[in-house]
Structure 1
Amino acid sequence: MNYSDATIWLIIVALGSGTFLIRFSFLGLIGNRRLPDWALRHLRYTAVAVMPGLVAPLVVWPQATGGATDLPRILAAAATLGVGLTTRNVLASITAGAATLYTMLWLLG
């Protein structure tokens, strides 16, 4: 598709304005008010909901293998999840996952 420079800049400005307004509606308008307890309770789970959505495609369809699922990444994800659930320590789970991934890549080629 061939777009003119003006069309591309219009799209960039429109998307930038849209994302700014979405963030401002939450942070700018209610940022200095106390949120209800039910809203704070739900906001606590935002990272827990977002992280699997970001990580799962990298485990199941990794770009490094051309989109083919492979055993080292599955084992690293399992180790990360297992250590995270047992220790409740983010750094320990990241370290266990990284160590498992690099060890399995070294062992399995």
Structure 2
Amino acid sequence: MIDKTTLWSVIIGLGLGSFLLRFAFTGFVGDRPMPAWLLRHLRYTAVAVLPALVAPQVLWPAATDGVPDPARMAAAAVTLAVGLISKNVLAAMLAGGATLYGMLLLLG
């Protein structure tokens, strides 16, 4: 077990770091308009978060002890294809989920 002092030091340090990162935009910038180049880059933040969360589960799934399997690869490919073709996030996620479920049933 980790020492309680170390644990609380890490928790407080991470909390302060998280606060300072958010405060950098809300506190320092405040009501001033942000430059166009920064707004252009911030638009892609949400687009980058979902793949960053999903990629490890596709490439190193815990369900297969870190070995990539065809069901997850197929679901990722279908999700990407439907997303690119339809430009609809919900349709892509539903198609990928249905593909994963179907492939897991089919492959066992």
State the TM-score, normalized to the length of structure 1: 0.90
Question: 2:25 matched to 1:19?
Answer: no
Q: Distance in 1 between matches of 2:2 and 2:101?
A: 43
Question: 2:31 matched to 1:32?
Answer: yes
Q: Distance in 2 between matches of 1:43 and 1:14?
A: 26
2:105 corresponds to which residue?
106
Q: Distance in 2 between matches of 1:80 and 1:2?
A: 41
What secondary structure sits across from 1:30 in the alignment? Answer: coil
Q: How many residues align?
A: 108
| Structure-2 change in CA distance of 1:56 and 1:36 (3 Å) | same
Percent of aligned pairs with the same residue? 59
Q: Distance in 1 between matches of 2:59 and 2:27?
A: 38
Q: Distance in 2 between matches of 1:31 and 1:104?
A: 49
In structure 1, stretches of 5+ residues that fail to align are none
State the TM-score, normalized to the length of structure 2: 0.90
Read off the aligned partner of 1:71 and give its amino acid letter: P
Q: Distance in 2 between matches of 1:62 and 1:11?
A: 28
1:50 corresponds to which residue?
49
Query: Could you give the per-residue CA deviations for residues 43-96 of structure 1, whole angstroms, max 9, x where no partner exists?
Result: 111122232222111101101111110000000000000000000001100110
In structure 2, stretches of 5+ residues that fail to align are none
